[in-house]
Amino acid sequence: MNYRVLLSGMAILNLVFGLTVPAFSQAVSLSGKLTCVLINKEEVQLFPAQDNPMGFYYLPNNLRLSTTETLQPEFLFMSWKSEASAETDNGVMHWLLTWGLSKEQEKEVQNCLIAKVDSNAIVMGALTVEAPEKFLLSGKNKDLIALLQGSLSSGAGIPTQPGGKSASSFRFLGEDARKVEQTLNSLDKWDGIFIEMPFYWTDGHPAHTLRLAAKTIMQSGTKCSECVIIPK
């Protein structure tokens, strides 16, 4: 079965009958799907190009906290006291998320393709996909999820290209600021919260969903002493 990305109205016919329909983007074969498992145990799903069975495109993967060129996490938590308060009553948190294969992971996938397909098989890049405007917060920790949802002031977008960044900003007031500040001393409180980024083929059918534990974001971000500013 073939699938042509960015198909609009003809996508259903292509999916059901295997028709070849003109398009301006990748066309891949769903029946040729391959899965490569990275060293970190993450699975990468790949599909061969319709016009080049040795060329493979991958679905979004490796959702993570972004880092700068110097490998500093793109994360900030800052809290402070207003003049009339004896304790923290204001706070902000910013993070940047990204997805896509690192250079090392691309080499892993390339070696996987050579082993599973042929020495001429190559990684062509990421598939073109669509996504809703904002990511989802899910999990069992409903109280902290509700606090985050209510404090989100901007961002939470979903990048549709590898290396694109999702910027999120949170503003915490009063008791909420103190609650989040306290979680930094006990990151287990972030257990049970996930960021979910659903991706779709351009005809609206689900393609893949990326999930990242919020605790992983906090662990990576708070390792950077410059990224956490709390009043003494």
CA distance 220 to 26: 35
DSSP for 58-94 reads E-S---EE-B-TT--BSEEEEEE--TT-SS--EEEEE
- At residue 232, the pLDDT reads 76
Residue 11 has a pLDDT of 38
Residue pLDDT tens, the chain, 232 long: 444 444 333 333 343 334 333 333 578 888 999 999 999 999 999 999 999 999 999 999 999 999 999 999 999 999 999 888 889 999 999 999 999 999 999 999 999 999 999 999 999 999 989 999 999 999 999 999 999 999 999 999 999 999 999 999 999 999 999 999 999 999 999 999 999 999 998 888 999 999 999 999 999 999 999 999 998 7
Q: Which two tokens stand for residue 40?
A: 């970190």
Q: Check residue 90 and give its pLDDT.
A: 95
User: How many residues make up the chain in this entry?
Assistant: 232
For every residue of 185-224, DSSP letters joined together read T-GGGGTTEEEEEEEE-TTS-EEEEEEEEHHHHHHHHHT-
Q: Angle formed by the axes of helices 142-151 and 175-183, to 10°? A: 120
Strand 193-200 to 136-139 pairing: antiparallel
Cβ distance 109 to 58 under 8 Å? yes
pLDDT at 30: 87
CA distance 218 to 214: 6
Enter the pTM of the model: 0.85
- Lookup: tokens for 24: 């301006």
